[in-house]
C-alpha cells in the first residue's frame, strides 16, 4: 500500500515539478539479456534523458520513444520483428 501511494506521489511530483525529458541520448541497444534495465526489456533498445538520467524504451521501427501508456505487447512485437531482420 505504501509503495503505491509513494509511486502516485512521485508521479504527480514529476508532472508538476519534474524533468520535461527534452534531451535524449542516441538509442542504445541492449544485447546482454541478463543486464537489461526495465526500459530496455520492453523493446530491446532505450534512450536516456540527458538532464535527469531516466531511461525510456525506444522503438526502432517508429524511430521514437515509446510512451509509458503504450501496451507492452505491441512494443514486444516490434522488438521481435526488428531482431529477426
Query: Which tens digits make up the pLDDT trace of 14-23?
Result: 778 878 778 8
Distance in angstroms (rounded) separating the CA atoms of residues 56 and 67: 8
Q: Answer yes or no: pTM beyond 0.85.
A: no
**H or E segment at 28?**
strand 28-29
**Chain centre to alpha carbon of residue 79:** 13
Domain boundaries along the sequence of the chain: 20-83
Expressed in percent and rounded to 5, the helix, strand and coil fractions of the chain are: 45, 20, 40
Maximal CA-CA distance, the chain: 44
pLDDT of amino acid 84: 53
Average pLDDT across the chain, whole number: 75
Amino acid at each position: 500500500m505504501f509503495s503505491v501511494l509513494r509511486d502516485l506521489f512521485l508521479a504527480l511530483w514529476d508532472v508538476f515539478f519534474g524533468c520535461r525529458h527534452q534531451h535524449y541520448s542516441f538509442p542504445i541497444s541492449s544485447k546482454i539479456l541478463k543486464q537489461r534495465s526495465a526500459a530496455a526489456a520492453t523493446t530491446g533498445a532505450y534512450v536516456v534523458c540527458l538532464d535527469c538520467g531516466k531511461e525510456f524504451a525506444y522503438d526502432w521501427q517508429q524511430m521514437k520513444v515509446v510512451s509509458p501508456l503504450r501496451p507492452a505487447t505491441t512494443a514486444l512485437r516490434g522488438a521481435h520483428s526488428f531482431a529477426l531482420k
